[in-house]
Structure 1
Amino acid sequence: MESTTKTTSGVRVRASELEGRGWLNTGGAELNLEKLRGKIVILDFWTFCCINCLHVLDELRPLEQEYKDVLVTVGVHSPKFEHEADPVALAAAVERYEITHPVLDDPELVTWQAYSARAWPTLVVVDPEGYIVAHLSGEGHAAGLASFIPELIAEHEAKGTLHRGDGPYVAPEPVSRDLRFPGKVLPLADGNFLVSDTGHHRLVETAPDLTTVIRTIGTGTKGHADGAPAAAEFNEPQGLALLPPKLAALVGYDVVVADSVNHRLRGITLATGEVRTVAGNGVQRLLEAGPARVDDDGASASATSLGAASLEIALSSPWDVAYSSVLETMVIAMAGTHQIFGFDPASGSVTIVAGNGLEGLLDGPGDQAWFAQPSGVTEDANGNIWVADSETSALRVVKFGDAGADGRKTVTVKTAIGEGLFDFGFRDGEAAAARLQHPLGVAVLPDGSVAVADTYNGAVRRYDPATGQVSTLARGLAEPSDVLLDESGDVPLLIVVEANKHQLIRLPLPKNALQVDEGAVQTQRPRTAVAPGELAVTIRFSAPTGQKLDDRWGDPTQLKVSSTPPELLVSGGGTSVGLTRTLVLSPDVTEGVLHLTARAAACDGPEDANGEIPDHAACHLYQQDWGIPVLLAADGASELTLDLRGMD
């Protein structure tokens, strides 16, 4: 990649002005591109529901620190869900994720449209003279930016257009709290509760009153360290699950913790508070290990081994954990790869239980199912695993069938509530028409119905599998991130983790649940006008300086295409190598969504004497999912070009 500020047509493109509702992390100051002139600017188009966006925040932190005198990141918050357009919710998210750069609140997607962003996350690099020099989609671009930024620095120092000095970030005033954005809660045998104090990067054990702090586990400083409770470190811990007593005695720890940003599972010995790492090597997993094995009857086998010791396996943002009595393993909501994993504490094996790694809502055999950022898991009395599938605003269920000749059970995924990536709302009634909004937690109630922490609706919802009806148990909550059935008293109660009020509360189970209908909506983004018939799709990708496409085992690029409704695509769907495809769109469908997933693998140089990538080279996966709303019109476009990694 050469450092050039010219497009393929030879014309330099001036960056558009930054427009929105207001600014955060600037001490009240309004920013514009003129005030940022002389700095290298990375515009990070993000939305706080998006796990890939959260990954990018962490990818950018080292670069922001290393180049703090010349580099300014501006987060352009472009909401997907209705709740994310709430300025109070955005301010809480900026605090929750410890964002240390200015953030532009762009609820109407004005700046998003000006920069032709089509997916979360998107990065746009603007040079010190105010020209666009890179347009990047998805995550995994840190290595490329690390080589590109020094080139820009050298170029603009030579031209005299680079200005060193402090950036415009102003830190907010810190607030002291016992809990800070708590994530999940776990009941203990002695009546106490263990809470993932996510914003403080630790665990807190509370008394039965949910407020009295008995002890803390972890220093409260983000990091990764095993050991005694006063020395251990976590990074945004989330889900918690108890092991059965016999298994706990065998392995020497009692609780498994989903340590989300560390991409690890941690084990806690309750008697001492000792912390150990039980799975994950700390490297974020970017690619699923491949499809699960399929038995002769076409049903997915219960789990596919990843073929390495648990401490050598890469995980990706594990968000919740639960013990499966059917599989006799922990099941993990692996939000970062859109899958359900398994972890066997006794053997140390890590497996893929369901999901092929593609983001979306697709039911069927476990190896073919699609999830979208699963964030809550629990087991019911029949051994089914219920899943809060957040990005599709869905409640899913993983069911296990009879074991085959090899003793492995089959897996099937079904959707109870939910329609797709861009469909959400607040509607009770028949499950087929009911809507949630980015749920994060799930619990089974005494009658076999399922309670859902409907996070962005600020509600707890109930789904009854017997009747197929959805109702509302409570509303007016501040981003409930988990829900738990509490049967410790005379009558069952709900414990709700209210993340944005930094507290846990108890609520009665109402005799008569509410029936709410505030409608079903879709994510509102500009539609792309396309013509019926042939549509030529091109995904642009250029490997960063010092990297080469990894073609040792064939074409290292891949494109998967599908549509909603399926009838939109006459031909051209499916998965194949290459980043170009000719689709044929039906003239009988007026609008829909094209779903595209692009991948490219590139490895570090230098090449060996034969021009080949050495076996020991570090390799990088670039991946992005797009959902492109389209409107079919006779005068619409016949070409669609997207940037996985486009350098101007």
Structure 2
Amino acid sequence: MNDSAPAPTPAPAPRRVRVRAPELIGKGGWLNTGGEQYTLADLRGRIVILDFWTFCCINCLHVLDELRELEEKHRDTVVVIGVHSPKFVHEAEHRAVVDAVERYGVGHPVLDDPELATWKQYAVRAWPTLVVIDPEGYVVAQHAGEGHVHAIERLVTELEAEHGAKGTLRRGDGPYVAPEPEPTALRFPGKAVVLPDGNFLVSDTTRHQLVELAADGESVVRRIGSGVRGFADGTAGVAAFNEPQGLALLDGSSVVVADTVNHALRRLDLATGEVTTLAGTGKQWWQGSPTSGPAREIDLSSPWDVAVFDGRVWIAMAGVHQLWAYDPAGRTVAVAAGTTNEGLVDGPVAEAWFAQPSGLAVSGDGERLWLADAETSALRWVDRQGVVHTAVGTGLFDFGHRDGSAGQALLQHPLGVTVLPDGSVAVSDTYNHALRRYDPATGEVSTLATDLREPSDAVLVGDDIVLVESARHRLTRLRLPEEAVRVASVAHRTRRAATEVAPGTLRLDVIFQAPAGQKLDTRYGPSTRLLVSATPPGLLLKGEGAGTDLSRTLELDPEFEEGVLHVSAMAASCDDDPANAYPACHVHQQDWGVPVRLTEGAADRLPLVLAGMDDSAV
């Protein structure tokens, strides 16, 4: 070998493909900008991150929380723009978007896009989706799902260096203008419970507190929590919550709290006001994490409500579409029902599918656990034999306001359930601004009250029902009427346009590219997973089920004109640094519900981007 031979020239780094970013348009206009309207030209010189979200979506709420640290760390170079892209009819109402932006503490400008105009321009197919635009106005990355902020921050650092050197980076204050706070006693309350002395305890979600109200439902007795977003145990004035929701009496002297964004269960001692942690680590559960064990050592994911059933505290684990249970005696927690797949599938608890369970209530005889399954607009229950049933609801894409037999009735994203004295169930039909009633004896659904504003829970007090009227920031007392109010029937399907695909063979490709500085994690076997199903089930002749390959050949039955393909994908990657004996690992996951229309001559390939570069990569 000739030692004097020149060393081989290293291959040049792949050039990032750049596509000019489409303009930001939305009929609803801009929020959190002090009334200013913006174009991409106004943002030139800044790194722009578009967050396509809708406020019903728990994964979107997770991303809002993931973005907070990045926004703070890079606030002089990065502008995050939330592009609100509605699924439900209610979410297209401008007032509802204004409320949601305040409710969830969104600290950046939001473009209200009720007609999905910008969503279509960027070819977005899933909530949430993050798009990165460089300081010169080019799309440089797109990621569907949650868990991608670590990769985006690495890209932001690269863009800061690249455009700082080129002179195309502009630093300074961004366009965000915080709204003026409103002086109400409650602010977007979530859930309530009646205390042994007749007072009410309410989760004051947006202010990160619990509020005890007198029996009149108005007078403030005390506040528990510092009022600052955080995670800390201690006395009433020291303890910190993060958007708490569900409440349940644990015994005569304490209340268990679903501390949603802290991914934890907390305990409030009613006598002392002391707050302690029962379950959760403060970190969000990801695929592959333990699902049972000592409660303080197991990660949870957005617990939304709690109820004591069959000797355990059942948890509506909205973040992973499951029900979990906490055992107070053993101080352990474990999955009780659901597979983490999002949808509506009944059967044994280990096989059932849920979609953001958000409200729980136990029947008077203790034989049923009722639940509001928000994203399927469904009322469901679990029996003591461990079987899941559906009373009202058909799936992810059908919703509305229609009374009648349970098989025909429609709800719209309900968040609360309350068992009535006669054994029927009151449903806080949140996006219909209504209180509904399901009678198990007759199988009929009726409307008890309308003209509410996003009711999210209700409790019984004598002959009255007291609702948490979240978007009116109050408790509202109603006398239970003997007869339901009749309303006109309305039915809806999701607003997204169907993707035209060819009948017969369809190639499904989930595009995943490990972020820069990472590689697929294959230490314990395949690092990817793909699950496919369809509504109606007969649409899919071939290709249903789970596998490890992110590409699959599907066979669509030409007898169907349209349907929905349900796709769930996961990929795991780890930092690629040989010098690091303990590399950080990350899970990337996303569920898609893709409405499809079978059309002769249409595309025979369906690409879905899990993580990777802009659309030119697919």
Give the TM-score normalised by structure 2.
0.95
Gaps of 5+ in 2: 1-11
Q: CA deviation at 1:178?
A: 1.0
Q: Could you tell me which residue of structure 1 aligns to residue 532 of structure 2? A: 561
Identify which of 215, 231, 246 aligns with 1:224.
231
8 Å contact from structure 1 (residues 561, 596) kept in 2 = yes
8 Å contact from structure 2 (residues 428, 456) kept in 1 = yes
Q: Could you tell me which residue of structure 2 aligns to residue 503 of structure 1? A: 474
SS at match of 1:376: strand
8 Å contact from structure 1 (residues 260, 319) kept in 2 = yes
8 Å contact from structure 1 (residues 238, 320) kept in 2 = yes
Q: Could you tell me which residue of structure 2 aligns to residue 259 of structure 1? A: 259
Q: CA deviation at 1:511?
A: 0.7
Q: In structure 1, what residue type is equivalent to 2:108? A: H
1:283-312 CA distance string (max 9 Å, x none): 10122768xxxxxxxxxxxxxxx3421111
1:507-530 CA distance string (max 9 Å, x none): 011111123333211012111111
Q: In structure 2, what residue type is equivalent to 1:361? A: L
Q: Could you tell me which residue of structure 2 aligns to residue 336 of structure 1? A: 319
Q: CA deviation at 1:244?
A: 3.5
8 Å contact from structure 2 (residues 588, 610) kept in 1 = yes
8 Å contact from structure 1 (residues 449, 463) kept in 2 = yes
Q: Could you tell me which residue of structure 1 aligns to residue 340 of structure 2? A: 357
Q: CA deviation at 1:359?
A: 0.7
SS at match of 1:144: helix
Runs of 4+ in 1 over 6 A off after TM superposition: 2-5
Q: CA deviation at 1:4?
A: 6.9
Q: In structure 1, what residue type is equivalent to 2:259? A: D
8 Å contact from structure 1 (residues 288, 357) kept in 2 = no
CA RMSD of aligned residues (A): 1.4
Say whether residues 1:468 and 2:482 are aligned partners. Answer: no
8 Å contact from structure 2 (residues 44, 136) kept in 1 = yes
8 Å contact from structure 2 (residues 293, 334) kept in 1 = no
> Using the alignment, how far apart are the partners of 1:268 and 1:617 within structure 2?
38
1:502-556 CA distance string (max 9 Å, x none): 0001101111112333321101211111111111111111112222211011111
> Using the alignment, how far apart are the partners of 1:131 and 1:451 within structure 2?
50
Correspondence 1:273-288 to 2 at 5 A? 273-287=273-287
Q: CA deviation at 1:142?
A: 1.3
Q: Could you tell me which residue of structure 2 aligns to residue 81 of structure 1? A: 88
Q: Could you tell me which residue of structure 2 aligns to residue 320 of structure 1? A: 305
Give the TM-score normalised by structure 1.
0.91
> Using the alignment, how far apart are the partners of 1:241 and 1:603 within structure 2?
40
Size of the aligned set, in residue pairs, is: 601
Identify which of 287, 306, 309 aligns with 2:294.
309
SS at match of 2:410: coil
Identify which of 50, 58, 68 aligns with 2:57.
50
SS at match of 1:526: coil
8 Å contact from structure 2 (residues 32, 110) kept in 1 = yes
Q: CA deviation at 1:172?
A: 1.3
Q: In structure 1, what residue type is equivalent to 2:279? A: A
Identify which of 377, 386, 389 aligns with 2:373.
389
Of 255-264 and 154-163, deviating more is 154-163
Q: Could you tell me which residue of structure 1 aligns to residue 115 of structure 2? A: 108
Of 55-64 and 508-517, deviating more is 508-517
Say whether residues 1:628 and 2:594 are aligned partners. Answer: yes
Say whether residues 1:375 and 2:350 are aligned partners. Answer: no
1:583-622 CA distance string (max 9 Å, x none): 00011111111110000011224236xxxx84x3322111
Q: In structure 1, what residue type is equivalent to 2:307? A: A
8 Å contact from structure 2 (residues 289, 299) kept in 1 = no
8 Å contact from structure 2 (residues 337, 349) kept in 1 = yes
Q: Could you tell me which residue of structure 1 aligns to residue 5 of structure 2? A: none
Gaps of 5+ in 1: 246-252, 291-305, 402-410
1:12-71 CA distance string (max 9 Å, x none): 310000011111111111100100111100010000111100110011111111111110
> Using the alignment, how far apart are the partners of 1:138 and 1:375 within structure 2?
20
Q: Could you tell me which residue of structure 1 aligns to residue 4 of structure 2? A: none
8 Å contact from structure 1 (residues 287, 337) kept in 2 = no
SS at match of 1:539: strand
SS at match of 1:220: coil
Identify which of 579, 590, 599 aligns with 2:570.
599
Q: Could you tell me which residue of structure 1 aligns to residue 6 of structure 2? A: none
Q: Are the structure 2 counterparts of residues 89 and 229 from structure 1 closer, same or farther at C-alpha, using a change threshold of 3 Å?
A: same
Correspondence 1:374-523 to 2 at 5 A? 374-382=357-365, 383-401=367-385, 411-487=386-462, 492-523=463-494
Say whether residues 1:20 and 2:26 are aligned partners. Answer: yes
Identify which of 61, 68, 78 aligns with 1:61.
68
Q: Are the structure 2 counterparts of residues 640 and 45 from structure 1 closer, same or farther at C-alpha, using a change threshold of 3 Å?
A: same
